[in-house]
Structure formats: C-alpha cells, structure tokens
Chain A
Amino acid sequence: AQSVTQLGSHVSVSEGALVLLRCNYSSSVPPYLFWYVQYPNQGLQLLLKYTSAATLVKGINGFEAEFKKSETSFHLTKPSAHMSDAAEYFCAVSGTSGTYKYIFGTGTRLKVLA
C-alpha cells in the first residue's frame, strides 16, 4: 500500500525566509509524486511533479522539490517566502502508475508573517 505523511499541519515563516514543507512517502513501486497548492475556497493547482526523471524538480512560483529515494522524501522548498504563498499545500503519490488515483497527505497550512 502507498501512503504519504506530511509533517507539520501548520507552518509559519516570515516574509523573505526559507519555506520548507516536509513530505515522506511509502511505496512498493517507483512512485510518481506531486505537490499541489490550494488557496481558500479554490481547487488544487499543481506546483510540481516527479515522474522518475530528474530528482530535483522545479515548479511554478519559485518552488522546487527534491526526490530522495534513500530517505523516501519529497520535501518542498522555496528560498524566499512571499505573502501570496499563504495557502494549504498537499503532497500526493499516485496509487497506480498510469492513472491518477492520488493518495494525498493531510496537508500543511503555510502562514507567511509580514
């Protein structure tokens, strides 16, 4: 079975500080991994995805994530937080290669302090 664990349901950072959102996965097969962002009362927007190509994945809005197989991690980072980054972030693993039966983590709500 596959699973995703997001450490920290709430994270606060100062504007301009590093953003680090943690995601660990469990998978018996090579995983596809995704980070999505959800703004209040909105749907999910894809930030970036890992599909077994480069281990360092760059996404939109200055975010990136590094796939580390030895640590079973796919942490999301951004060098400098903006106020507009305040949202909820979800890590997901695809349940079956070739389909999008995602298994989502419980989410991390990012707060950016002025």
Chain B
Amino acid sequence: NAGVMQNPRHLVRRRGQEARLRCSPMKGHSHVYWYRQLPEEGLKFMVYLQKENIIDESGMPKERFSAEFPKEGPSILRIQQVVRGDSAAYFCASSPPGSPNTEAFFGQGTRLTVV
C-alpha cells in the first residue's frame, strides 16, 4: 500500500510563473489536507478537501492560491504568479473517512523555490 505521494519533490519557478503541486492520497483515503512549512517554522494549515469539495480553506492566502481534489486524479495545489515569499515546503496529508482516532499520513513534501 503506497503512502501519500507528492510530486514533484523539488520545484523551481521564476517569479511570476505558476506552480502546480500534486498529491495522491493513500488508497481508500478521501480527505486531503495541505500544509505549508516556511523555513525555521512549523507547519501551517492551508486547506482541507474531500472529493470535489473544499471543506475548509481558512489557511489559504486570499489571492493566487487555489486547491482542488477532483473525483478522479490527484489533489492539486496551484499557486499563480509566484513570489519569493512562496518559497517553502508544501506537505499534503490524507486520512480515511470516519473515526477521529485515525491519523493523518503525510507525504514527503514538495519544496518550492522561487528565484
């Protein structure tokens, strides 16, 4: 059973370009969470999605950032017109539906560098 898969692992973008980060949850998991880790900081919640629905996007910047989790395919975190301050590690986590006693499983992250 493969874990949470994120790609690419490393992404370099020039200022003003778009960044697309992909996350394939574990098999059977229908909940996906995106977190951002800035250098020397902890992870900050960005968005919580279920299939075809955004449940909680309270941590998403108001502009340039969007996320989706379509019926088929991976979850996508999209950052338009990237700026240097977007440089960070972006982690995806997934969990199965149901009991809160289950845990969220994290991917290895995508490290975005904006030059």
Contacts and interface: CB of A to CB of B under 8 A. Distances in A.
A44 B109 CA distance: 9
Interface stretch (B13-21, B40-48, B66-74, B79-87): B40-48
Nearest to A6: B42
Contacts of B6: 43
Secondary structure class of chain B's binding surface, majority of residues = strand
Contact of A34 (B45, B95, B103, B107): B103
B43 A49 contact: no
A75 to B, nearest CB: 17
Nearest to B4: A43
A106 B44 CA distance: 10
A54 B53 CA distance: 35
State which size class the interface on B falls in. 20 to 34
B73 to A, nearest CB: 21
Interface string A69-111: 0000000000000000000001000110111111111110000
Interface of A: 32, 34, 36, 41-46, 49, 51, 90, 94-95, 97-107
Given A97-B100, A99-B56, A101-B48, 5 more contacts: A44-B106, A98-B100, A99-B48, A99-B100, A100-B104
